Amino acid sequence: MPAFSAKQIAKFIDGTIEGDANTTAECFGQLDHCPDHALSFLIEPKYEQSLYTTNASIVIVSQDFVPKEEVPCTLIRVENPKKTFITLLQFYEDLKPKRLGISKQAIIDKTAVIGQGVYIGAGAVVEEGVEIQDDAKIYPQVYLGSNVTVGENTIIYAGAKIYEGCHIGSNCVIHSGAVIGADGFGFMPDEKGNLIRIPQMGTVILEDDVEIGANTCVDRAMLEATIIRKGSKLDNLVQIAHNCHIGEHTVMAAGCGVAGSVHIGNHCVFGGQVGVKDHVQIGNHVQVAAQSGIHRNVKDKMRLIGSPAMDAKSGMKVFGSIPYLPKLIERVDRMEKEKPTEKPKEA
């Protein structure tokens, strides 16, 4: 990171300086263990104590923050410290040199269409009919199957595999080891009980601004398309089965598994290791706690916890009662033993 003064940073983020305007920051860091000459930020009051001992030279704070002790660094006051800090991180990322050019070690079919400003790394394979639009970045050892489309400004990191016929939108990010468009898990037993593979003839569509984590798999549909809608983000090690539709701006943490033909709405949030049964319909703005198991349809704006998943308010009571069960069982056993034996009625 180039060195920037507090004055330069404050001008860029429209902040107010408190302290030495000429002090500089050369890197980013967390408040409690910053390197020297770092830029950091304070959001939550529970981290305030770290401000008074930090090595950071510049710290971004809220407009209404009142320090309780002497501060050893320059403060820049803004309306929203977290959002501002992210803006600075994005600015720094944009300063990094962009990869350009096509490696001589890449294997590119002559029918492929390559846009302007594209980077293709060594060992990448681009099959017939592929279209890579302007400013896309294809890192080493990526495989793009026949007739794949990659949109503008999309980044596909090393070792990702995109099977034939899949469509990747603009401004997407696909991390290493991800597989887009492998066959859906479709088998049918015959009269002898042998499993017959069902051909998966559909495709996968990732709309614009989608991010796919490392080693995540999105399977192709049997006939139509598995779709990840605009702005959705899938973490590492997520499995999306065939025929699924994931709505816009939905987030899934690592380890989630979504079975076939599930439809999930917009702006949903799934914690890690959530499992969803096949053919379930999930509404918009649904929040699901980690390790929950969803086995039936879910209405809009529900908050779920547990396996099988239940309403979060009821679920917290259920799980909160679990530590008391051993004593409750002992009490019931004792009551049963102390219960007087009833004498048989005389005839």
Contact indicator for 11, 17 with CB cutoff of 8 Å: no
CA distances 194 to 186, 187, 191, 333, Å, are: 13, 9, 7, 50
Task: Determine how β-strand 310-311 pairs with β-strand 303-305.
Answer: antiparallel
CA torsion sign for 24, 28, 31, 35 is negative
- The question of whether 242 is a catalytic residue gets the answer yes
Phi, psi of 300 (to 5 degrees): -55, 145
Contact indicator for 271, 290 with CB cutoff of 8 Å: yes
Distance CA 137, CA 124 (A): 11
Task: Determine how β-strand 16-18 pairs with β-strand 74-78.
Answer: antiparallel
Distance CA 105, CA 120 (A): 9
C-alpha 49 chain-centroid distance: 31
What one-character-per-residue DSSP string does 105-148 give?
A: T-EE-TT-EE-TT-EE-TT-EE-TT-EE-TT-EE-TT-EE-TT-
334 by DSSP, 3-state: which? helix
CA torsion sign for 222, 172, 136, 156 is negative
Contact indicator for 258, 242 with CB cutoff of 8 Å: no
Provide the β-strand partners of residue 58.
39, 74
User: Which tokens hold the place of 305?
Assistant: 């916890």
Distance CA 45, CA 299 (A): 36
Distance CA 248, CA 283 (A): 12
Q: Which of 242, 245, 263, 267 is catalytic?
A: 242
Q: Which residues are catalytic?
A: 242
